[in-house]
Structure 1
Amino acid sequence: MISKESFNLKQVFKSLAFISLSLDILIEGILADHAEASKHLDMGRDMLAQGNLLEALSHFDLAVDKDPYNYLTYFRRATVYLALGKSKSALPDLDKSIELRPNFVAALTQRGNVYLKQGNLDEAMSDFQEIVSNDPNNMEVVEYLHQIAPLRGEIEQAKMLYQNHDYQGAIILLSKAIDLCPWDPELRELRAECFIAQGDLFKAANDIRPTTKLRNDNTPGFFKLANLYYEMGDADESLNQIKECLKLDPDHKECFPFYKKVKKLAKQLKESQEHSNAEQWDDCVAKARAILKTEPKGYSFVHTAKSHICHCLAKGGHGSDAIKACNEVLDMDPENYNAMCDRAEAHIANENYDEAIKQFQSAMNIDQENRRAREGVERAQKLLKNSKKRDYYKILGVPRSAKKKQIEKAYRKLAIQWHPDKFQDEEEKKHAGKMFMDIAAAKEVLSDPEKRSKYDNGEDPLDPEQQQQGNWGGNPFGQGFNPFGHGGQGFNFKFHFN
């Protein structure tokens, strides 16, 4: 019979054996995890050296999971986060690294740097002072402390200068502060306000843009950025930024109505430009006028819309209306050489070639390398010279903007009217023959796109003096063309029209 004492002793031995086995298993697991963590730490370090940051981050994540008490693993991962521009993610890892190993100089230096760049001067000062207290000869950190000391005062002075409307003075001090604290959204927002006050919206946008990432859910930043691009006349970029605001808050009380307006305007601007590119002049004008209804006040969009109206009316041959529209553009922007060239085109449509030459020359005075203005002067001078000869548009009685059907209709009517077979008197027949030849010549030139283009550019394709020798020969209608046969005399054919 086993005594109670013997039984209890056996139970103790069993418990000790179980504990020993459990410790062996635990130690074996810890060692295995430690070995696995070391392997991922080494692999992560190799990936980091190769610049493969995402792979490095993946290995450091696994190393932290396997060995959550290794200060170096947290520090390595923080380094990758910083390289990826994720300072907010780096800070907890630096905190943990310092917690596991107090006075870890590399981590303290790195954390102090992050605080400084974020504009958290008190926290940065605390980390740097702790390092210097243990190592007064750490010149890198001593230099940081020397930079932080005057920084507070300069930031306060910049705020005072802004309040006193000394925007340039504030910008100088803020720029110096931002060099040291590039991740401080408040400094960038203040400098952006200074740029706005100076009218430099582009620089203001460049300061607001990073704040949309430096602040969490920064809907005010996206709204501000959308408005800046809108004021600069960039509807597409304004639309992009307001969409970012709505991603954070689909029902944002400011962003949603602004989005609807910008979306409509961006579409109208695109369509107006597309009509212009396709030479659909009337549609271009209509869409540009719709832009003015959507945005009647914004300078950039009003300027763009009126410029489209000026250009498309001029290209469409609406001389007087185009001149009026171009005058409105030049009232807004007196040195707009494109509007000057468009106004010159309108004067050409009105056959006022002298004024067209003056307008093209004015554009050249602003931009001597302007090819359109230079070629425009030459073309207007040719047109002026040709206007003293045959004017094919006047012969057919059609405007310079006439379409092919309109030209052919005018030709048929005049050809019937002046056909020589209708006249008996020799003098009348001779005069009718000359008129008929002019009508036929006008129809040949104006109904042929290539010849018409030459004529509109100041060159008469049926004028032998303007053609290369042998190109047209002595025949003013070109080779093989004469409605009356050889010499234009003694014709006896009947002219039929379909």
Structure 2
Amino acid sequence: MESRRRKGLNGVLSSLSLVCVILDLQLDGVLGATHVEIEQHLEMGRKLLAAGQLAEALSHYHSAVEGDSDNYLTYYKRAAVFLAMGKSKSALPDLTRAILLKPDFLAARMQRGNILLKQGNTHEAREDFQAVLDRNLAQEEAEDQLMRTNELEELQEEAHAAHHQGDYSTTINVLERVIEISPWDPESRELRAECYIRLGDPQKAILDLTPTTRLRNDNRAAFLKLSTLHYSLGEHHDSLGHIRDCLKLDQDDKECFSHYKQVKKLSKQLDSAEEHIQEERYEDAIDKYESVMRTEPNVPYYTNLAKERICFCLVKLRMADDAIDICSEAHQRDPRNVNILRDRAEAFILNQEYEKAVEDYQEAREFDGDNNEIREGLDRAQKMLKVSRKRDYYKILGVNRSANKQEIIKAYRKLAMQWHPDNFQSEADKKEAEKRFIDIASAKEVLTDPEKREKFDAGEDPLDPESQQNGGQNGQAWPFHFNPFESGGNFHFKFQYN
């Protein structure tokens, strides 16, 4: 029994020895091949880098580093590729590794110091520049960069002191030079963004905060701030994009998730409202914009926008009185908004208040003189005002501009019966009645004819001989060439149902 155990153990030991021999042989073969491969990778990396094919060059340098993790030059060369690609944060560990492997490698020291200076890290940058000068006092670049490092440190202190005193304008001015020296320093940009916010300039704050999202590995605070700023400016799609970026970094971030829900809800309502308008579902659009005001009552932009668009929808629905009220409220909130002035002018036209329509269009033109829609609207309103001072067919029949054909005919019949000359005794009253009756008949003729009504709505009187080209006898249209009460015979009044 004992003999069998010994034989088995000897067999196992023999097998293990054989495996070890085989592994040693394989390892020797790999190591021998690796040196050649490393040289090939380095050479290909050099050629590709010179040709500007950075991603391909980087791949070869990765292989070279993996093949020889103790070669300081492979790290340095890979760092050069990272820098060419604008990835300074990735280059920094490679430069640090190269310096650890070769402490007197001044080129790597100089390159790392430059990166640290641009990142605003004055303490470590100074150490690198000083280390270069300790070994080479004639290194002018290191001396210049050391002076910039000292300048940056003084400016940083000056900026923080001004900010602490609440002098935001001075802080911004000082940070201008700070960021010029250290453009990769997120802290300086964040401080300047805060100053811009304090001074009421969120757009410039956005310009400073945007690059900081790339300058820090996890900058959820910047994404949240950017989302909040865009939201306050009414840029809800941009706001939604930034808050989603925050949640990509941490889906459980409570602040970002809470803001995300608010922005998503509001954005959905706004998009839905505009879709309804595109589909001419104006009542549904009004409902959505009223929901917008309930969802976000604290940001003026959204209330202003909602009232502006509700004003537009009411005009499209030809609800003149309601439109004038809402448009006037919207105008008080946003006096220079030409869209509101345009829509209120159209509401005034619906209400036959042409002078007010002209005034609104003229005010809109002052704010946007190059707007063709405003110029055309003003021209139309002025024509309508001119025509209305002669004869306004809507006023003659006492109907709104939105009246349909049945309403116009009904008003015509009622007034025609009232003002028929046979209803009056004295010659003076008959003459007045004849005049009124002709106007009533003219109004009915124009407003029940789609083509003539369209011309009148555009500011042209289709029965005015001055505006006729080839209409009627001698270029005139009835009633200017024909008066039913001047024929000398009895006129028989009949209602027409068309």
TM-score of the superposition, structure 2-length normalised?
A: 0.81
How much has 1:368 moved relative to structure 2? 3.1
For residue 407 of structure 2, what is the aligned residue in structure 1? Answer: 410
In the TM superposition, 1:9-408 aligns within 5 A as 29-394=30-395, 398-402=399-403, 407-408=404-405
Deviations 1:321-349 (CA, angstroms, capped at 9, x unpaired): 32332332332333333322322222222
Q: Give the distance between the partners of 2:409 and 2:331, measured in 1 at CA.
A: 42
Deviations 1:314-373 (CA, angstroms, capped at 9, x unpaired): 443333332332332332333333322322222222211112222222222333333333
Q: Give the distance between the partners of 1:140 and 1:410, measured in 2 at CA.
A: 89
Q: Give the distance between the partners of 2:51 and 2:468, measured in 1 at CA.
A: 69
Of 443, 447, 456 in structure 1, the residue corresponding to residue 448 of structure 2 is 443
Matched to 2:300, the amino acid is: Y
- 8 Å contact from structure 2 (residues 447, 453) kept in 1: no
For residue 6 of structure 1, what is the aligned residue in structure 2? Answer: none
Deviations 1:104-158 (CA, angstroms, capped at 9, x unpaired): 2221121111211222211111111111222222222211111111221211121
Which range moved further: 189-198 or 87-96? 87-96
Q: Give the distance between the partners of 1:84 and 1:476, measured in 2 at CA.
A: 79
Matched to 1:144, the amino acid is: Q
How much has 1:309 moved relative to structure 2? 2.4
Q: Give the distance between the partners of 1:56 and 1:73, measured in 2 at CA.
A: 12
Deviations 1:408-458 (CA, angstroms, capped at 9, x unpaired): 4335656887999xx9x899999989856642431222xx6xx65543331
- 8 Å contact from structure 2 (residues 396, 439) kept in 1: no
Matched to 2:287, the amino acid is: A
Q: CA 1:133 to 1:24, structure 2 compared with 1: closer, same or farther past 3 Å?
A: farther
- 8 Å contact from structure 2 (residues 352, 401) kept in 1: no
Q: Give the distance between the partners of 1:178 and 1:393, measured in 2 at CA.
A: 67
SS of corresponding position for 2:448? helix
Q: Give the distance between the partners of 1:453 and 1:163, measured in 2 at CA.
A: 67
Q: Give the distance between the partners of 2:248 and 2:47, measured in 1 at CA.
A: 38
RMSD (CA atoms):
3.7
- 8 Å contact from structure 1 (residues 316, 401) kept in 2: no
Matched to 1:59, the amino acid is: H
Which range moved further: 361-370 or 462-471? 462-471
How much has 1:476 moved relative to structure 2? 4.1
Matched to 1:441, the amino acid is: V
Matched to 1:410, the amino acid is: E
- 8 Å contact from structure 1 (residues 357, 381) kept in 2: yes
SS of corresponding position for 1:364? helix
Q: Give the distance between the partners of 2:142 and 2:463, measured in 1 at CA.
A: 85
How much has 1:277 moved relative to structure 2? 4.1
How much has 1:186 moved relative to structure 2? 1.5
Q: CA 1:395 to 1:51, structure 2 compared with 1: closer, same or farther past 3 Å?
A: farther
Uncovered stretches (5+) of structure 2, i.e. residues with no partner: 1-19, 424-429, 479-483
Which range moved further: 133-142 or 228-237? 133-142
- 8 Å contact from structure 2 (residues 212, 222) kept in 1: yes
Matched to 2:176, the amino acid is: S
Q: CA 1:366 to 1:419, structure 2 compared with 1: closer, same or farther past 3 Å?
A: closer
For residue 16 of structure 1, what is the aligned residue in structure 2? Answer: none
SS of corresponding position for 2:297? coil
Matched to 1:371, the amino acid is: N
How much has 1:462 moved relative to structure 2? 5.7
Q: Give the distance between the partners of 2:245 and 2:23, measured in 1 at CA.
A: 55
Q: Give the distance between the partners of 1:353 and 1:244, measured in 2 at CA.
A: 52
Which range moved further: 358-367 or 174-183? 358-367
- 8 Å contact from structure 1 (residues 462, 472) kept in 2: no
Q: CA 1:496 to 1:468, structure 2 compared with 1: closer, same or farther past 3 Å?
A: closer
For residue 14 of structure 1, what is the aligned residue in structure 2? Answer: none
Q: Give the distance between the partners of 1:44 and 1:99, measured in 2 at CA.
A: 23
SS of corresponding position for 1:401? coil
Q: CA 1:454 to 1:58, structure 2 compared with 1: closer, same or farther past 3 Å?
A: farther
Q: Give the distance between the partners of 1:165 and 1:384, measured in 2 at CA.
A: 57
- 8 Å contact from structure 2 (residues 468, 476) kept in 1: no
SS of corresponding position for 1:254? helix
How much has 1:195 moved relative to structure 2? 0.6
Q: State percent identity of aligned pairs.
A: 45
- 8 Å contact from structure 2 (residues 397, 440) kept in 1: no
Q: CA 1:291 to 1:473, structure 2 compared with 1: closer, same or farther past 3 Å?
A: farther
Which range moved further: 94-103 or 182-191? 94-103
- 8 Å contact from structure 1 (residues 37, 66) kept in 2: yes
TM-score of the superposition, structure 1-length normalised?
A: 0.81
- 8 Å contact from structure 2 (residues 397, 415) kept in 1: no
